[in-house]
Amino acid sequence: GEVFRIGIMAAKSLYLHLEVKVPFPSSAPASAVQWGPADQNKLASVAENSLEKVWVSTPKEFSSAYLSSMLKALAPGGIVEFRSATASAEDLQRSLLFGGFASVSITADGGVVGSKPVYKVGAAKKFKKKTKPTEKKSNEASKAGGSVWALGDDDLADDGVDLEDEDSLLDRETEKVDVAVPTNIKDKNKDCETGPGGKRKACKNCTCGFKEELETEGKEASEAPPADKSACGNCGLGDAFRCSTCPYLGKPAFTSKDNVVKLVL
């Protein structure tokens, strides 16, 4: 295990050949570590940040867990290259992007390359807050001689400044105005007149809908309500089977034949 770890760290590059249809690259250095399908599980044992390049031939995209192990083994800025004869380059590109690799792109010959981000996971950097142009101009104006809206200590003593008399604003505070409060208001947005006794009546040329509302209330009071009918046939089974608009919601189950209440215990 220790010999294997030292060999990987010294090689700095890994060639994982999993698809026989993809030829092994002739440009691979002699010092590179070459793995076949039986060596896939060794990736989890590779030391962190020990590889500078990983070349892969695969029949399909890798799982997110395996890509995470590969990303961990690569050094910051390390290169990864995928080749496949069966999987589409778009699918491989998408899997690398979701796996956390940066600068992922498709090459002219159908390969997919990416790199490990150079930043460290969890790293933070402070940004200096830039002064807004408006704030800068305001500061410059105040340094130059003050704002045009500012009042000095002696400005209020000037006879040319007209101030509002606070006492005059309170002259009518104690006046009381009796307003008849309508007793049949359902909608405060209705603007019809108020009749005798505080009863609100519809105007002659009512446009707010209050006239129609009163007519509807009169018809409902004179007509008997129609008997409830079941549209789905499940009303008698109980609330577990009833529609959200069922008139029997909250009532016990009953038999539809004789409408006799049947409690379900």
Whole-number Cα distances in Å, 181 to 169, 184, 212: 27, 9, 22
Tokens of 164: 């509002």
Question: pLDDT by residue (tens digit) across 250-259?
Answer: 777 777 655 5
The answer, yes or no, to whether residue 3 has pLDDT greater than 50, is: no
- Find the mean pLDDT for residues 225-236: 65
Other C-beta atoms lying within 10 Å of the C-beta of residue 230:
14
Tokens of 153: 């200590």
- Residue 119 region, left (φ>0) first, then alpha (ψ -120 to 50), else beta? beta
Question: pLDDT by residue (tens digit) across 18-70?
Answer: 888 999 988 888 888 898 888 888 888 888 888 999 999 998 888 888 888 89
pLDDT given for residue 105 in this prediction: 94
- Find the mean pLDDT for residues 152-161: 64
Q: Tell me the C-alpha distance between 78 and 95, whole Å.
A: 17
The answer, yes or no, to whether residue 152 has pLDDT greater than 70, is: no
Q: Tell me the C-alpha distance between 36 and 21, whole Å.
A: 13
DSSP 59-109: SSPPPHHHHHHHHHHEEEEEEEEEE-SSS-HHHHHHHHHHTT-EEEEE-TT
The answer, yes or no, to whether residue 244 has pLDDT greater than 70, is: no
Question: pLDDT by residue (tens digit) across 170-180?
Answer: 776 666 666 55
Q: Report helix angle 64-73 to 89-98, nearest 10.
A: 70
List the beta strands (DSSP E) in 102-175: 102-106, 112-115
Q: Please report, as a single letter, which amino acid is at residue 53.
A: K
Whether the model pTM is above 0.95: no
Question: pLDDT by residue (tens digit) across 69-124?
Answer: 899 999 999 999 999 999 899 999 999 999 999 999 999 999 999 999 987 766 77
Question: pLDDT by residue (tens digit) across 130-150?
Answer: 666 655 555 565 555 555 556
Among the listed ranges 77-91, 119-133, 190-204, 236-250, which one has the minimum average pLDDT value? 190-204
Averaged pLDDT score across all residues of the chain: 75
Report CA 148 to chain centroid distance, whole Å. Answer: 45
Query: Which is it for the CA torsion 232, 236, 238, 244, positive or negative?
Result: positive
